[in-house]
Chains A and B, each alone.
Chain A
Amino acid sequence: MSTKPLFDNGWELPGIASAEKFFPVLPEILALPANLCFEGTSISPDVQSFFASHAATQILQIPLGTIWPKPSVFHVRATEQFLRQLAALAERHAGPEICDHFHAYDGNQGLMQWYDAFSGDPLLVDESVGEMKVQAFCRKLGVPYARWRAANKAATNTKQADKS
């Protein structure tokens, strides 16, 4: 289950639970147009049709987030209009009916990585997005943010537990 992250340093934004609120403010931190990747096992048919109508060529390889059942994956080219329409769809769908996992990228540059989107797990944002933008985005969503870096740079800590 080891996979490299899309980027090594950036921001983590935990607690985002509403797709309806998330997509309208996404342009605050994401320069558009950008490529978005939606992965899910229970994406609603109308949402699937919407994604399919905005399909874009997959440029970046995104590691799948679900082993089984086989997920549906859509790569789209997102504009502000696309996000407004998606937000309208999200008003009448639960998070998993939009996607389970969400990524954003521009060319070969990963910009956002979010496994278990809308579950409360943190949205990771690449460091190329400035703190002012992250701060404004988080204020609108009412969530905190913190510096994040890929964990493989962390020190190893080995200790001996008590024996019984």
Chain B
Amino acid sequence: MKALLFVGMITCLAVVGNATHRQTGIEPGNGLGMSIAPDEAATGPDKAMHFKVTFSNLRSEDLTFIPGTLIACGMTPSKTSAVKLNLTGPQGKQHRHLPYLGDGPPYHFGCAGQIEFYVVILHGGESVSLPLEIGKYVDLSDSKQYDGARFPAGKYSLQAELTTERSEIPKSMLKTTNVWVGRATSNIVQVQFASEFLAPVDDYSQ
């Protein structure tokens, strides 16, 4: 596993993949729409934990945003690693802003090497769908060997959220690109967790 702390070799790749014009279930956030749905193409025993997040440019002009990473130094990269999850448990308890953790536990993030942000440019009206795995946000394994916040099995409401602040954008990009800042939230879908699962923290207010 890679493990280095981000120093900032920022090679920004602008990628536009599988652009479509589908805009169902979109919640606008400063021109960026966002929706989440089960990944119908997923296979395997954990296929219910695989989702697709669709980002849509609700503006007429180009929109550039950063949903994740292609190289993430200390952790497994994901094109949606900047997306956070909001879960609401069977008893109505909220678990806000669960961050992407990658592979683990243990979840390493120390980094002194390279990070490449996944930068998407959408033309007016375009959309892009990217994969999101819940198993990269919480520990779904049976081992439960570490102390952490325990989430009971049951049906949860799931919402995806992307927040980008100006301070999070590489300075080198700000000089040349008008990168999206704001907060976009998706529709809410239901997820059935068959067994108890864990996360480092139960709820993140920010």
Contacts and interface: CB of A to CB of B under 8 A. Distances in A.
A150 B110 contact: no
The size bracket of the interface on A is 35 or more
Contacts of B14: 158-161
B119 to A, nearest CB: 7
Interface string A120-142: 01101000000000000000000
Interface of A: 1-6, 41-42, 63-71, 100-101, 113, 115-116, 119, 121-122, 124, 150-152, 154-161, 163-164
Most B Cβ at <10 Å: residue of A42, A69, A122, A154: A69
B107 interface: yes
Q: Dominant SS at the B interface?
A: loop
22 contacts: A1-B74, A5-B112, A41-B105, A41-B146, A65-B3, A65-B109, A66-B107, A67-B106, A68-B101, A69-B148, A70-B147, A101-B108, A113-B5, A151-B7, A156-B11, A156-B176, A157-B12, A158-B119, A158-B176, A158-B177, A160-B16, A163-B19
B41 to A, nearest CB: 16
Q: Across chains A and B, which 8 residue pairs bring their CB atoms closest together, nearest first?
A: A151-B9, A65-B110, A152-B8, A116-B3, A115-B110, A68-B200, A69-B146, A156-B172
A161 B79 CA distance: 15
B4 interface: yes
B93 interface: no
A155 B200 CA distance: 35
Contacts of A116: 1-4, 74, 108, 110
A19 to B, nearest CB: 16
Interface string B140-158: 0000001110000000000
B107 A68 contact: yes
B74 A65 contact: yes
A150 to B, nearest CB: 4
Contacts of A64: 110
Contacts of B199: 68
A121 B2 contact: yes
Contacts of A100: 3, 106, 108
A164 B132 CA distance: 20
Contact of B108 (A115, A122, A150, A154): A115
Interface in B74-112: 74-75, 101, 104-112
The CB with the most chain B CB atoms within 10 A, among A2, A71, A157, is that of A2
B42 interface: no
B18 interface: yes
Contacts of B193: none
Contact of B110 (A66, A68, A69, A160): A66
Given A159-B13, A164-B18, A3 B106 contact: no
Contact of B3 (A5, A121, A158): A121
B96 to A, nearest CB: 17
B125 interface: no
A7 B72 CA distance: 20
Interface string B176-197: 1100000000000000000000
